[in-house]
């Protein structure tokens, strides 16, 4: 009701189905699940499906337009909140635990109520809860935020790359605008007589500008429709690329109504803005007698071509920025892919959730111990580890509130958030993550021993700069009683959220001191790890034939799906933008040089009539194109240096110094060669002008 959705089939939940924990086992299928798993069969209503050992009755299908509340993680089905304890194997009173804060609450404001009023009331409610339940609600606030703010916070660590893509797209659009403006400026002198006639018979300047803008709007419609057609082709091409990661992240490429509206609006705005100045200049008050007598505008001297020259130079400059940024991103991402900080080959991954098989904590612990023990005995296995969260997995993050010993907290705060994961004593060795100081976790780090943690170098540098982190203490506020844990080791940094992130603070906790139901088993081998799948499945079957295994795949496949594939797509898109910008710059330069030749045809004929050679005419025209290219390259170098400084913050590693000299040595000569080729075609045509025909003009 809050989201304003209607089921594609059947119905949604009613309030009575969400009041008694575990009573109403009903399920609504996602539209994609209905299509893929049930063949879009309308008879699915009323059928029973088994989820986590519980029989559910299908009562509806969600609409195809709804893919869940997460931007890129579509759910397969929806169940009432009251069924959560049954699926998780927990007590029916689990939903009443006040320290469980994993829910995302959405609501609608009443008419006339502002967001600020909702925030104030939320703060009052939070203060009342803190007073009534100090043990669980101490320092826990409450606020209200708009849906847009929530989506921006959910954008994830790839937001800088998305921003970069949007910026590059804007640069391409600016190149196109400059191109259109240059072409319209070139047309203006040829229509001077027509404009003069309209002004002479009483046409107002505003009406003439409106007429010219209307003509430009027709260009916008044609260009917008053509752009949508090309965009559709790009979407079809992107659909062929594997953009589905190991955790089910699905990036949708669709030309929906929003994309079409934005595209056509930008097309109209771009053409109108780029044609406004040419239209204003074309209707500028002039000597109408001279204009009507000469039949063509001679009022525009060659010295007035600076506007068009500047536009072409800007196009070349922006194209240089696009190409250098593309080369920078390619080099930087390649460096990041080669240094993720953990093993990316010869390893098998397998996910487990014993709670789905109705395991309690003791049975879960026994299952994991037996599983690891038998996995170590597989021939060719070198080490075995376990973790609650794999690197580059954004689906299941663990954020904790901590108080680092000796760290001065910002004013008004009593703790800081930190990302973490729970690992066993074999994880770091299996993942080839080195320990730079202290020690790793050991088998005797159990629930009965002192609490210990590991931190990475980034976390140590943030909270204890210039100090030895070994022996420092961290208060774990998310644990009952807020106990203190001692730092016993520091690990090297690696990539945790996505491959392009800067050094990120991270904390490891020992699995034996804080076990959990969900875990991923990592089995490293001295050979190809794909052959480990059969023996691992056999081991699980021998322990419990009903234990489900999720996401079993090699580390190579996982790394490609969560890092390499996404980066490859990003580089293809940026490379296409760079080539598109260069192509438009070439068209712009060709058009201006051709216009330059057309405006000086009579002069060129006179030069050739008095003895000028074709090579000198060719050089005359090429010098004009070379001058514009050189000016554009100079401006482009300045712009790319500035862009490189901004992009450098996205890839914080010692080898990254921004856009280097090698990039310029590759991009600049290529751009100059291509643009001069564009200028050579009209220059060669100028060198072949017949002097007699040229002198007969006018």
Averaged over 167-191, what is the pLDDT?
A: 74
Coil, helix or strand for 54? strand
The length of the chain, given as a count of residues: 698
CA atoms within 13 A on the CB side of 246: 26
- The pLDDT assigned to 270 comes to 76
Q: Which residue has the tokens 């029989």?
A: 55
Which residue matches tokens 């780029």? 274
* 560 pLDDT above the threshold of 90: no
Residue 588 has pLDDT above 60, yes or no: yes
CB 614 within 8 A of CB 296: no
Burial 222-243 (b: 16+ CB within 10 A, else e): ebbeebbeeeeeeeeeeeeeeb
Pairwise CA distance, residues 16 & 23, whole Å? 10
pLDDT: is 285 or 119 the higher one?
Answer: 119
**Which string of DSSP letters, residue by residue, matches 95-118?**
GG-TT---------PPTT--HHHH
Place 303 in a pLDDT band, splitting at 50, 70 and 90: very low
Closest CA to 498 of 640, 397, 414, 622: 397
Structure tokens at 326: 């593309």
Q: What is the CA radius of gyration of the chain?
A: 33
pLDDT at 89: 65
The pair of structure tokens assigned to 139 is: 């320092």
- Per residue in 231-241, pLDDT tens? 888 788 776 65
Residue 57 contacts residue 9 (beta carbons within 8 Å): no
Specify whether the CB–CB gap between 20 and 83 falls below 8 A: no
* Of the candidate ranges 9-13, 392-396, 669-673, the one whose mean pLDDT is the lowest: 392-396
Classify residue 297 as left (phi > 0), alpha (psi -120 to 50) or beta. beta
Tell me how far apart the alpha carbons of residues 45 and 581 are, in angstroms, rounded to a whole number.
Answer: 53
Please report the pLDDT score of residue 371 as a whole number. 95
The chain-wide mean pLDDT, for the chain, equals: 82
Contact 325/664 with Cβ under 8 angstroms?
A: no
Decide if pLDDT at 396 tops 90.
Answer: no
- Distance CA(220)–CA(214), nearest Å, equals 10
Q: At what angle do helices 361-376 and 533-543 cross, to 10 degrees?
A: 140
Q: Please give, one letter per residue, the 3-state secondary structure of 118-136.
A: HHHHHHHHHHHHHHHCHHH
Q: Residue 156 class from Cβ within 10 Å (0-12 exposed, 13-18 middle, 19+ buried)?
A: middle
The Cα angle at residue 327 between residues 326 and 328, in degrees rounded to 5: 90
- 486 pLDDT band (50/70/90 cuts)? very high
Q: pLDDT per residue over 279-293, tens digit each?
A: 666 666 555 555 555
User: 195-232: per-residue pLDDT in tens?
Assistant: 777 777 777 777 877 787 788 788 778 888 888 888 88
- Residue 436's pLDDT is 95
Give yes or no for a contact between 628 and 589, defined as CB atoms under 8 angstroms apart: yes
- Percent of the chain at pLDDT above 90? 32
Res 117: pLDDT = 94
- Residue range 506-512: mean pLDDT, rounded: 95
Minimum mean pLDDT range among 44-48, 292-296, 326-330, 520-524: 292-296
Q: 131: pLDDT confidence band, cut at 50, 70 and 90?
A: very high
How many other CB atoms are there within 10 angstroms of residue 679's CB atom? 24
What mean pLDDT is predicted for residues 348-376? Answer: 90
pLDDT at 571: 79
The pLDDT, as a whole number, for residue 281 is 64
φ, ψ (nearest 5 deg) of residue 82: -65, -15
Residues 259 and 682: their CA atoms lie apart, in Å, by 39
Q: Read off the pLDDT band of 624 (50, 70, 90).
A: confident
Q: For 537-614, list the strands marked E by DSSP.
A: 549-554
Distances (CA, A) of 482 to 163, 474, 640: 39, 10, 50
Give the burial string for 498-527 (b: 16+ CB within 10 Å, else e).
Answer: bbbbebbbbbbbbbbbbbebbbbbbbbbee
Give dist(CA 278, CA 188) in Å, integer.
7
**What is the DSSP track for 244-256?**
B-TT--B------
Helices (H), 191-240: 192-200, 205-239
Whole-number percent of the chain with pLDDT over 70: 86
- Euclidean distance between the first and final Cα of the chain, in Å? 75
| Residue scoring higher pLDDT (422 or 586) | 422
Would you say residue 469 has pLDDT above 90? yes
- Identify the pLDDT of residue 290: 56
Who wins on pLDDT, 684 or 369? 369
Return d(Cα 55, Cα 59) in angstroms, integer: 13
In terms of Cα–Cα distance, which of 75, 271, 246, 294 is closest to 173?
271
């Amino acid at each position: 009701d809050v989201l304003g959705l209607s089921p594609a089939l059947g119905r949604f939940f009613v309030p009575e189905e969400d009041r008694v924990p575990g009573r109403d086992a009903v399920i609504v299928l996602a539209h994609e699940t209905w299509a893929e798993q049930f063949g879009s069969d309308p008879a699915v209503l009323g059928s029973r499906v088994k989820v986590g050992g519980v029989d559910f009755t299908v009562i509806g299908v969600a609409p195809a337009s709804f893919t869940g509340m997460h931007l890129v993680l579509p759910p397969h089905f929806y169940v009432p909140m009251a069924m959560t304890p049954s699926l998780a194997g927990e007590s029916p009173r689990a939903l009443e635990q006040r320290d469980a804060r994993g829910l995302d609450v959405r609501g609608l404001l009443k008419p006339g109520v502002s967001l600020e009023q909702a925030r104030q009331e939320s703060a009052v409610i939070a203060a009342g809860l803190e007073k009534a339940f100090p043990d669980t609600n101490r320092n826990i606030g409450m606020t209200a935020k708009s849906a847009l703010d929530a989506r921006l916070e959910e954008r994830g660590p790839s937001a800088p790359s998305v921003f970069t893509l949007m910026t590059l797209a804007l640069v391409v659009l600016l190149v196109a605008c400059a191109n259109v403006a240059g072409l319209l400026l070139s047309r203006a002198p040829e229509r001077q007589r027509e404009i003069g006639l309209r002004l002479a018979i009483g046409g107002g300047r505003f009406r003439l500008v409106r007429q010219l803008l209307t003509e430009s709007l027709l260009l916008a419609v044609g260009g917008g429709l053509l752009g949508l057609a090309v965009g559709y082709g790009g979407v079809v091409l992107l659909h062929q690329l594997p953009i589905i990661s190991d955790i089910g992240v699905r990036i949708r490429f669709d030309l929906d109504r929003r994309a079409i509206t934005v595209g056509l609006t930008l097309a109209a705005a771009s053409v109108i803005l780029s044609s406004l100045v040419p239209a204003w200049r074309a209707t500028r008050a002039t000597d109408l007698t001279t204009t009507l007598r000469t039949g063509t505008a001679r009022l525009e001297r060659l010295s007035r071509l600076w506007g068009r020259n500047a536009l072409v130079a800007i196009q070349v400059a922006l194209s240089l920025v696009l190409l250098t940024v593309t080369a920078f991103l390619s080099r930087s991402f390649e460096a990041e892919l080669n240094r993720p900080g953990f093993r990316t080959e010869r390893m098998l991954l397998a996910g487990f959730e014993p709670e789905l098989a109705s395991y309690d904590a003791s049975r879960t612990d026994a299952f994991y111990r037996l599983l690891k023990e038998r996995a170590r005995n597989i021939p060719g296995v070198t080490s075995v580890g376990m973790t609650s969260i794999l690197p580059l997995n954004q689906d299941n993050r663990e954020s904790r509130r901590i108080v680092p010993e000796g760290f001065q907290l910002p004013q008004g705060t009593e703790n800081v958030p930190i990302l973490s994961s729970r690992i066993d004593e074999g994880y770091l060795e299996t993942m080839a993550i080195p320990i730079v100081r202290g020690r790793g976790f050991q088998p005797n780090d159990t629930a009965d021993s002192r609490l210990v943690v590991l931190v990475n170098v980034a976390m140590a540098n943030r909270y204890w700069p210039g100090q030895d982190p070994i022996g420092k203490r961290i208060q774990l506020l998310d644990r009952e009683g807020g106990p203190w844990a001692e730092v016993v080791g520091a690990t090297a940094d690696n990539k945790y959220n996505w491959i392009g992130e800067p050094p990120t603070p991270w904390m490891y906790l020992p699995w034996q001191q804080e076990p959990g139901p969900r875990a991923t088993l990592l089995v490293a081998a001295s050979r190809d790890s794909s052959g480990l799948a059969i023996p691992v499945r056999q081991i699980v079957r021998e322990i419990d034939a009903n234990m489900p295994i999720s996401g079993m795949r090699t580390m190579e496949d996982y790394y490609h799906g969560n890092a390499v594939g996404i980066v490859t797509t990003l580089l293809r898109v940026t490379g296409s933008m760079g080539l598109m910008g260069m192509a438009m710059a070439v068209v712009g330069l060709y058009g201006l040089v051709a216009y330059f030749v057309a405006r000086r045809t009579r002069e060129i004929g006179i030069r050739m009539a008095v003895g000028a050679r074709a090579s000198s005419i060719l050089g005359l025209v090429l010098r004009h194109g070379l001058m514009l290219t050189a000016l554009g390259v100079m401006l482009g170098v300045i712009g790319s240096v500035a862009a490189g400084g901004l992009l450098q913050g996205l890839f914080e590693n010692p080898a990254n110094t921004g856009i280097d000299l090698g990039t310029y040595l590759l991009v600049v000569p290529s751009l100059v060669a291509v643009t001069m080729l564009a200028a050579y075609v009209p220059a060669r045509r100028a060198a072949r002008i017949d002097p007699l025909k040229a002198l007969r003009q006018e």
